Amino acid sequence: MKIFSFIEIVHLYGKNFGYLRTTLKLLSYEFKSINSYVRNYKTVVDLGSGEGLLSAILKSYNPGINFICLDLNLEYLSFIEENNFILNLNTLDKDILNVSDLPHSDVYMLNDMLHHISRNNHEVFLFNLIQRVNPGGMILVRDVRKSMSLDYFLTKIIDRRLYPLDPLSYMTQMEWLNLMSKVTPRKFRLKKSFFGWPSNKLQVVIWK
């Protein structure tokens, strides 16, 4: 059943967004690790979900979790809604910066999202967001680590083309550490990602 819904999801996204893009995205998600964090919770809000691929895959493994895909891009949200007979995800059209407007949740996921908002907003945003996490829950961030790597330079080039109006505020590992110590001095974990090639990604877990 799981395998069947996984293949169905890959086919659906491949058909609409390209099979190469879908496969690369799937390979880049540290699926096992992310799944191990979310699987025992009841609600997950995917902030800046885009077309919702990560939530869709997680949902296929965890049908009991309520996944809410939240984004400003109505095209992505419509895609999810039109295919909800397969995806079974909820959608919300909201600006993540209006934190008081966000639904409370056990887990907030921010995959490749934080660098799309201005660096000046990161600290206040994360501080306010952790207040909305249900007791015992967490914020999961996967984002770019500014570094001397080919992966980072390619990310920069692709992001500039796809999101010319966004601030694209990348941070080094040290800057991530500084940010986390300001937001939550004790309850965070920072891990370098690995998915088969030299990766520029960091995984940050912030516990409530």
137 binds ligand SAM (CB under 6 A): no
For residue 75, which of 108, 109, 49 has the smallest C-alpha distance? 49
Question: Among residues 9 and 54, whose Cβ is nearest to ligand SAM?
Answer: 54
Instruction: Decide whether 1 or 20 has the Cβ nearer to ligand SAM.
Output: 20
Residues in Cβ contact with 146 at an 8 Å cutoff, skipping those fewer than 6 apart: 152, 170, 171, 172, 175, 200
Q: Which residues contact 15 (CB under 8 A, 6 or more apart)?
A: none
Using alpha carbons only, give the angle 26, 170, 50 rounded to the nearest 5 degrees: 40
Minimum distance from residue 184 beta carbon to ligand SAM (Å)? 22
Binding segment toward ligand SAM, per CB under 6 A, in 31-39, 113-121, 125-133, 196-204 = 113-121
Which stretches within 88-199 are classed as H helix?
Answer: 119-132, 150-162, 173-183
Question: Applying CB under 6 A, which of residues 9, 34, 68, 96 lies at the interface with ligand SAM?
Answer: 96
Choosing from 35, 37, 103, 116, the residue that interacts with ligand SAM (CB under 6 A) is: 116
113 binds ligand SAM (CB under 6 A): yes
CA 46/CA 69 separation, integer angstroms: 5
Note whether 111 binds ligand SAM by CB under 6 A.
yes
- Pattern 52-81, ligand SAM, x by CB under 6 A: -xx----------------xxx--x-----
The least CB distance from residue 93 to ligand SAM, in Å, is 9
Q: How far is the CB of 95 from ligand SAM (least distance, A)?
A: 4
* C-beta separation of 139 from 126 below 8 A: yes
Order of all β-strands in the sheet with 66-71: 90-93, 66-71, 43-47, 105-111, 133-144, 201-207, 188-192
Q: Which stretches of the chain bind ligand SAM, using CB under 6 A?
A: 48-50, 53-54, 71-73, 76, 95-97, 111-113, 116-117
